[in-house]
Chain A
Amino acid sequence: MTQITRRDVFQAIADPTRRAILGLLLAQAMTPNALAEHFKSSRQAVSKHANILAECGLVTPEMAGREIYYHLNTQKIKEIDAWLEPFRQLWADRFDQLDQLLNHLKK
C-alpha cells in the first residue's frame, strides 16, 4: 500500500508546537521522550508532530543505541529562508537607493 504524502516545510512551520520543537532541536538532538517533557500535550501528540517534521525533512530521526534522536536538518531550514528572499531583495534594493541618497546628502 502506498501513501501519498504532500508535505512541505511551510506546512511544518505552520504549527506552534512544531515550531517549538524546531527551536528545541536547534540547541541539541533530542529523543521523543525528552522533547515531550517540554510540552503539556501528550507524548503521543508530540511524537506525531515530530513525525510530521521528519516527513517534511526538517528533522532526521537517527538511532543511537536503543534510542531515536531527532536532529535538525539545517539544509532544509534554508528552504524557509529562501521563501523570504524576494522580500529581502525588496529591502536590499530600497536600501541601496538610500545609500545613494545619503551619499549625496554628505556633499
Chain B
Amino acid sequence: MITTHETKIIKAPTGNKLIVTRNFDAPVEKVWSAWTDSKLLDDWWAPRPWKAETKSMRLSEGGQWLYSMVGPTGERHWCRVDFKTIVPQKKLAVVSVFCDENGNTTAGMPPMHWLTEFRAKDAGTAITVEIAFDNEADLDKIVAMGFKEGFTMGLGNLDELLAHGRV
C-alpha cells in the first residue's frame, strides 16, 4: 500500500535557494541507497516519460556520477554530479552541472549546489533537499527551465495516454 505524501517546495528568503521537503514510508537506509546506488537512481530519478541512464558513478568525496536523461523521442541531456560531502544515511552534498557525454561542463548553464538531508521520522524518512544557486538570476533560469520541462513532460504523458487509447 502506497500512501501519498505531499512534496513541498519553497523559495528561501535569501532568494537564491529552493527547499524541497518530502516524507517517505521507508527506513532511512533504503532511502539512502535509492539516492546513492546508480542502478536504483536510474529507476526513479527522471520524471516519466524521461529515463535516467547512468554512464559512470564513483560514490566517494571527490567522485562523480555521470548520467543522461533520455526523452521519449530519444533526446538526451547529460548531467554530472560531483560528490562533495558524504555522510551515510544523513547527508549528501553535491554540485550538479549540465555537461556533454564526457562530463565537460556546458558553458552558460548555472551550477546547482545540492544538500540532501535524511532524517528518520516515525517509521519512515524525512528528506530535505536544498538547491542553492550562485545568485538569484541563476535560480530563475533553472525554475524557468523546470517550467519548460514540466510542460514538455506533461505533453509526454499525454502522448502515453494517447498511445494507450485512454483519451
| Tally of chain B residues near chain A (CB < 8 A) | 35
Stretch among B72-80, B89-97, B109-117, B147-155 lining the A interface: B147-155
Say whether, besides A87-B146, A91-B9, A106 and B45 are in contact (CB < 8 Å).
Answer: no
Say yes or no for A88: interface residue by CB 8 A criterion: yes
Among A88, A96, A102, point to the contact of B9 (Cβ < 8 A): A88
CB <8 Å contact, A97 and B7: no
Contact A93 B48 (CB under 8 A): yes
Q: Which of A68-107 contact B (CB under 8 A)?
A: 80, 83-84, 86-103, 105-106
Q: How far is the CB of B54 from chain A (nearest CB, A)?
A: 15
When distances are taken between beta carbons in the complex, the residues of chain A under 8 Å from B129 are 91
| Contact for A99 among B15, B25, B146, B147, CB less than 8 A | B25
Query: In the complex, what residues of B have CB within 8 A of residue A94's CB?
Result: 44-47
Count of CB-CB pairs between chains A and B under 8 Å:
85
Chain B residue nearest in CB terms to A106 = B26
Size of the A side of the interface (Cβ < 8 Å), in residues, is 26
Say whether, besides A19-B15, A103-B2, A105-B26, A97 and B9 are in contact (CB < 8 Å).
no
- Cβ contacts under 8 Å, A98 to chain B: 24, 31, 34, 44
* A106-B9 in contact (CB<8A): no
What B residues does A96 contact at CB under 8 A? 4
The residue of chain A having its C-beta at the shortest distance from the C-beta of B146 within the complex is A87
B20 near A91: Cβ-Cβ < 8 Å: yes
B59 at the interface (CB under 8 A from A): no
Q: Which residues of B contact A88 (CB under 8 A)?
A: 7-9, 20
Indicate if the CB atoms of B48 and A86 lie closer than 8 Å: no
**A16 on the B face (CB < 8 A):** yes
Decide yes or no whether B161 CB sits under 8 A from chain A: no
